[in-house]
Amino acid sequence: MFTLTLNSASEAMKKAKSTYHHGNLAESLLDAVDEIASKFGLEAVTLRACAKLVGVSPSSAFRHYSDKRSLMTAFAARALNKLSESMEIAQANAIKQNKNAYASVGLAYVEFALDNPAFFRAMWSDETIYANSEDYIEAANGLSAHLKGGFADTIEDSDPNSFSSEELVAWSSVHGLANLFVDGPVGNGLSKSHKMKMAKDMIDTLMPVFTTPET
Protein backbone atom coordinates (compact mmCIF):
# COMPACT_ATOMS: atom_id res chain seq x y z
CA MET A 1 0.00 0.00 0.00
CA PHE A 2 1.21 3.49 -0.81
CA THR A 3 2.22 5.69 2.11
CA LEU A 4 3.30 9.28 1.56
CA THR A 5 6.36 9.77 3.77
CA LEU A 6 7.97 12.99 4.87
CA ASN A 7 11.24 11.90 3.33
CA SER A 8 9.76 11.26 -0.14
CA ALA A 9 7.59 14.38 -0.28
CA SER A 10 8.83 16.94 2.23
CA GLU A 11 10.02 19.32 -0.48
CA ALA A 12 6.75 18.98 -2.39
CA MET A 13 4.77 19.56 0.81
CA LYS A 14 6.62 22.81 1.47
CA LYS A 15 5.94 23.95 -2.07
CA ALA A 16 2.25 23.01 -1.86
CA LYS A 17 1.79 24.72 1.48
CA SER A 18 3.50 27.88 0.26
CA THR A 19 1.13 28.16 -2.72
CA TYR A 20 -2.11 27.14 -0.97
CA HIS A 21 -4.54 29.91 -0.18
CA HIS A 22 -7.96 29.76 1.41
CA GLY A 23 -10.59 29.24 -1.25
CA ASN A 24 -8.25 27.47 -3.66
CA LEU A 25 -8.12 24.08 -1.97
CA ALA A 26 -9.91 22.23 -4.78
CA GLU A 27 -7.23 23.27 -7.28
CA SER A 28 -4.43 22.64 -4.79
CA LEU A 29 -5.66 19.09 -4.33
CA LEU A 30 -5.52 18.58 -8.10
CA ASP A 31 -1.94 19.87 -8.05
CA ALA A 32 -1.24 17.26 -5.38
CA VAL A 33 -2.71 14.54 -7.62
CA ASP A 34 -0.25 15.58 -10.32
CA GLU A 35 2.65 15.55 -7.85
CA ILE A 36 1.85 12.10 -6.46
CA ALA A 37 0.87 10.49 -9.77
CA SER A 38 3.98 11.79 -11.50
CA LYS A 39 6.22 10.24 -8.85
CA PHE A 40 4.36 7.08 -7.87
CA GLY A 41 1.62 6.45 -10.46
CA LEU A 42 -2.12 7.12 -10.57
CA GLU A 43 -2.84 4.12 -8.36
CA ALA A 44 -0.96 5.83 -5.51
CA VAL A 45 -3.35 8.78 -5.38
CA THR A 46 -5.71 9.01 -2.42
CA LEU A 47 -7.64 11.91 -0.96
CA ARG A 48 -5.80 11.54 2.34
CA ALA A 49 -2.39 11.58 0.64
CA CYS A 50 -3.36 14.67 -1.36
CA ALA A 51 -4.63 16.41 1.77
CA LYS A 52 -1.38 15.60 3.57
CA LEU A 53 0.68 16.91 0.67
CA VAL A 54 -1.25 20.20 0.63
CA GLY A 55 -1.12 20.44 4.42
CA VAL A 56 -4.82 20.26 5.30
CA SER A 57 -6.97 17.75 7.14
CA PRO A 58 -8.65 14.90 5.23
CA SER A 59 -12.04 16.28 6.24
CA SER A 60 -11.23 19.51 4.38
CA ALA A 61 -10.42 17.54 1.25
CA PHE A 62 -13.64 15.54 1.48
CA ARG A 63 -15.64 18.78 1.42
CA HIS A 64 -14.50 19.25 -2.19
CA TYR A 65 -14.30 15.67 -3.42
CA SER A 66 -16.50 12.92 -2.02
CA ASP A 67 -14.08 10.12 -2.94
CA LYS A 68 -10.97 9.34 -4.96
CA ARG A 69 -13.02 8.77 -8.09
CA SER A 70 -14.50 12.27 -7.98
CA LEU A 71 -11.01 13.70 -7.40
CA MET A 72 -9.66 11.79 -10.39
CA THR A 73 -12.62 12.91 -12.51
CA ALA A 74 -11.81 16.55 -11.83
CA PHE A 75 -8.14 15.84 -12.57
CA ALA A 76 -9.00 14.16 -15.88
CA ALA A 77 -11.29 17.04 -16.88
CA ARG A 78 -8.51 19.51 -16.13
CA ALA A 79 -6.13 17.45 -18.25
CA LEU A 80 -8.52 17.47 -21.21
CA ASN A 81 -9.00 21.22 -20.93
CA LYS A 82 -5.26 21.85 -20.74
CA LEU A 83 -4.60 19.70 -23.80
CA SER A 84 -7.29 21.61 -25.71
CA GLU A 85 -5.66 24.87 -24.64
CA SER A 86 -2.22 23.64 -25.75
CA MET A 87 -3.58 22.77 -29.19
CA GLU A 88 -5.31 26.15 -29.51
CA ILE A 89 -2.15 28.04 -28.57
CA ALA A 90 -0.02 26.00 -30.96
CA GLN A 91 -2.42 26.59 -33.84
CA ALA A 92 -2.65 30.34 -33.18
CA ASN A 93 1.14 30.73 -32.84
CA ALA A 94 1.76 28.78 -36.03
CA ILE A 95 -0.51 31.09 -37.99
CA LYS A 96 1.16 34.19 -36.54
CA GLN A 97 4.62 32.85 -37.32
CA ASN A 98 3.65 31.48 -40.74
CA LYS A 99 4.53 27.93 -39.72
CA ASN A 100 2.82 24.67 -40.62
CA ALA A 101 -0.15 24.55 -38.26
CA TYR A 102 -0.69 20.79 -38.42
CA ALA A 103 2.93 20.10 -37.51
CA SER A 104 2.79 22.64 -34.68
CA VAL A 105 -0.39 21.19 -33.19
CA GLY A 106 0.89 17.64 -33.51
CA LEU A 107 4.13 18.52 -31.76
CA ALA A 108 2.19 20.35 -29.05
CA TYR A 109 0.16 17.18 -28.45
CA VAL A 110 3.29 15.06 -28.01
CA GLU A 111 5.00 17.69 -25.86
CA PHE A 112 1.94 17.89 -23.61
CA ALA A 113 2.24 14.16 -22.93
CA LEU A 114 5.98 14.38 -22.25
CA ASP A 115 5.60 17.36 -19.90
CA ASN A 116 2.43 16.09 -18.19
CA PRO A 117 2.50 12.27 -18.11
CA ALA A 118 0.02 12.08 -15.22
CA PHE A 119 -2.45 14.26 -17.12
CA PHE A 120 -1.98 12.18 -20.25
CA ARG A 121 -2.59 8.90 -18.44
CA ALA A 122 -5.66 10.18 -16.60
CA MET A 123 -7.64 11.69 -19.47
CA TRP A 124 -9.36 8.51 -20.65
CA SER A 125 -8.93 6.29 -17.62
CA ASP A 126 -12.58 5.27 -17.42
CA GLU A 127 -11.99 2.76 -14.64
CA THR A 128 -10.85 5.49 -12.24
CA ILE A 129 -13.28 8.34 -13.04
CA TYR A 130 -16.99 9.15 -13.25
CA ALA A 131 -17.20 9.32 -17.03
CA ASN A 132 -20.79 10.65 -16.85
CA SER A 133 -19.73 13.71 -14.84
CA GLU A 134 -21.02 16.91 -16.44
CA ASP A 135 -17.64 18.66 -16.16
CA TYR A 136 -15.79 15.68 -17.59
CA ILE A 137 -18.21 15.31 -20.51
CA GLU A 138 -17.90 19.02 -21.28
CA ALA A 139 -14.09 18.81 -21.27
CA ALA A 140 -14.07 15.63 -23.38
CA ASN A 141 -16.48 17.16 -25.88
CA GLY A 142 -14.32 20.28 -26.07
CA LEU A 143 -11.23 18.26 -26.97
CA SER A 144 -13.22 16.09 -29.37
CA ALA A 145 -14.44 19.22 -31.15
CA HIS A 146 -10.83 20.28 -31.74
CA LEU A 147 -9.91 16.87 -33.08
CA LYS A 148 -12.98 16.60 -35.31
CA GLY A 149 -12.64 20.19 -36.44
CA GLY A 150 -9.77 19.62 -38.81
CA PHE A 151 -7.35 18.71 -36.02
CA ALA A 152 -7.67 22.17 -34.44
CA ASP A 153 -8.33 23.78 -37.83
CA THR A 154 -5.02 22.66 -39.29
CA ILE A 155 -6.26 20.34 -42.07
CA GLU A 156 -9.19 20.51 -44.45
CA ASP A 157 -12.45 19.45 -42.81
CA SER A 158 -15.82 19.05 -44.49
CA ASP A 159 -17.76 17.81 -41.45
CA PRO A 160 -16.85 19.13 -37.97
CA ASN A 161 -19.23 16.64 -36.34
CA SER A 162 -17.43 13.47 -37.38
CA PHE A 163 -13.92 12.12 -37.88
CA SER A 164 -12.57 12.05 -41.39
CA SER A 165 -9.86 9.58 -42.36
CA GLU A 166 -7.32 12.41 -42.31
CA GLU A 167 -8.36 13.49 -38.82
CA LEU A 168 -8.09 9.92 -37.56
CA VAL A 169 -4.61 9.63 -39.04
CA ALA A 170 -3.59 12.95 -37.46
CA TRP A 171 -4.88 12.06 -34.01
CA SER A 172 -3.94 8.40 -33.86
CA SER A 173 -0.39 9.07 -35.03
CA VAL A 174 0.50 11.72 -32.47
CA HIS A 175 -1.49 10.06 -29.68
CA GLY A 176 0.09 6.70 -30.41
CA LEU A 177 3.60 8.11 -30.39
CA ALA A 178 2.91 10.09 -27.23
CA ASN A 179 1.64 6.93 -25.55
CA LEU A 180 4.71 4.99 -26.68
CA PHE A 181 6.91 7.68 -25.20
CA VAL A 182 5.04 7.87 -21.89
CA ASP A 183 4.29 4.19 -21.25
CA GLY A 184 5.88 2.23 -24.04
CA PRO A 185 9.30 1.09 -25.22
CA VAL A 186 10.01 3.98 -27.58
CA GLY A 187 12.53 6.59 -26.51
CA ASN A 188 13.58 4.99 -23.24
CA GLY A 189 16.59 6.86 -21.90
CA LEU A 190 16.39 9.55 -24.56
CA SER A 191 16.15 13.26 -23.81
CA LYS A 192 12.97 15.23 -24.41
CA SER A 193 14.60 17.08 -27.30
CA HIS A 194 15.49 13.77 -28.95
CA LYS A 195 11.92 12.53 -28.57
CA MET A 196 10.54 15.75 -30.01
CA LYS A 197 12.89 15.35 -32.99
CA MET A 198 11.48 11.86 -33.49
CA ALA A 199 7.97 13.29 -33.34
CA LYS A 200 8.84 15.97 -35.88
CA ASP A 201 10.31 13.40 -38.26
CA MET A 202 7.15 11.28 -37.99
CA ILE A 203 4.90 14.28 -38.63
CA ASP A 204 7.02 15.33 -41.61
CA THR A 205 6.58 11.83 -43.03
CA LEU A 206 2.80 12.17 -42.69
CA MET A 207 2.60 15.61 -44.28
CA PRO A 208 1.79 14.30 -47.81
CA VAL A 209 -1.44 12.86 -46.40
CA PHE A 210 -2.65 16.38 -45.60
CA THR A 211 -1.29 18.09 -48.70
CA THR A 212 -3.66 18.48 -51.61
CA PRO A 213 -1.78 17.67 -54.82
CA GLU A 214 -1.75 20.35 -57.48
CA THR A 215 -3.81 19.65 -60.57
Burial class (CB in 10 A: 0-12, 13-18, 19+), 73: buried
**pTM of the model as a whole:** 0.84
The answer to whether 90 and 168 have CB atoms below 8 angstroms apart is no
| CA 211 – CA 137 distance, rounded (Å) | 33
The answer to whether residue 16 scores a pLDDT higher than 90 is no
Q: How far apart are CA 72 and CA 45, in angstroms?
A: 9
Q: What is the pLDDT of residues 172-193, one digit of tens each?
A: 999 999 999 999 899 889 999 9
125 pLDDT band, cuts 50/70/90, is confident
pLDDT at res. 120? 95
Average pLDDT, the chain: 87
Instruction: Tell me the pLDDT tens digit for each residue of 127-177.
Output: 889 999 999 999 999 999 989 999 989 998 888 888 999 999 999 999 999
119 Cα distance to chain centroid: 4
Q: How far is CA 166 from CA 94, 102, 170, in A?
A: 20, 11, 6
CB atoms within 10 A of CB 10: 10
Q: How confident is residue 211, by pLDDT bands cut at 50, 70 and 90? A: low
pLDDT 10s digits, 64-104: 999 999 999 999 999 999 999 999 999 999 999 999 999 99
Q: What is the pLDDT of residues 22-64, one digit of tens each?
A: 458 999 999 999 999 999 999 999 999 999 999 999 999 999 9
In the prediction, which pLDDT does 209 show?
A: 78
CATH level 2 (architecture), domain 76-210: Orthogonal Bundle (1.10)
**Where are the domains positioned within the chain?**
8-62, 76-210
Long-range contacts of 28-37 (CB under 8 A, 24+ apart): 28/54, 29/54, 29/61, 29/64, 29/65, 29/71, 30/71, 30/74, 30/75, 30/78, 33/71, 33/72, 33/75, 33/118, 34/75, 34/116, 34/118, 34/119, 35/9, 36/4, 36/9, 37/118, 37/121, 37/122
